[in-house]
Structure 1
Amino acid sequence: MANTILVNMNRCTGCWTCSMACKGAHHLDVDEFWQYVRTIGGGEIDQPGGKWPNLYMKWMPVWKQKCAKCAGDDSTGFIPYSYCVYNCPAGALTYGDASDPTSEVSLRKQELLDKGFRVYEIPEWEETRKGVLYAENSI
């Protein structure tokens, strides 16, 4: 089974719910994160880049190598989603078996590709979890 998380970057609102769900589910210390949200913009959390009136900012959930890609428990009704995916209020995350062409993650990936999204992984040198795909377009 090739469990994969697909992130629709155009839907992520930077709310950190995915990260807080992970922390709570795994009882992590206050300063420990297995998953966090990177701000793409001005270099600080929630700081836009650019100059007025051409400001820009978006968010990128990032999974560290410690990520367990958990598959839920009784709090999720044993739905085969990781806590981060299950709790995302924006519907930006999809979870499933990428090797199964009929899985939710494979179908969503194809849908985004058909809409002109670029799908990629973060390079290994960033020491992130394998099996996380990012999809974004320029709209």
Structure 2
Amino acid sequence: MDSVNVNGVGSFVPSICRLKIFYESPRIGAGGTSRSMVDFLKHNITSLAQSRPYIEFNVVHRRGAPELEATYNNGSTRNIICSKLNAKQIKEKTAELCDGSGSSATGRKFAQPVKKGAGSQRDLVNPTWNPFHSKDVYRPVLG
């Protein structure tokens, strides 16, 4: 039984499922680290949400540094602190999070084993005993 792709159904499954945007409204007369995040929210968030309708966007007001938090389908999350970025850089970071796969930044695939320790790659001096290749095998005498 073969599976056939019909009308493009199932051809695109995005790896990101949610993007949370945390910001703090800047106080009057204060510099604030969230000014660029507020500018990004005023001018760019609607076009970003319309271009990516498959992502759930959550805009959360809280105290602290502005932050982007992406949640991916494989269960991983990535956080980016945006306190020293301008609105253009925040837009680039959101595009990077939306187009990313959620895997680790080391480039290692999930199914690859992790090599631990500084062990030797050479074979042992005495190879393991195998009953099928050994000369000293017990063979019963029939008869």
TM range (shorter): under 0.3
Larger RCO of the pair (alpha carbons < 8 Å, separation 6+)? 1
TM score, norm. by length of structure 2 = 0.23
Higher strand share: 1
The structure with the largest alpha-carbon Rg is 2
TM score, norm. by length of structure 1 = 0.24
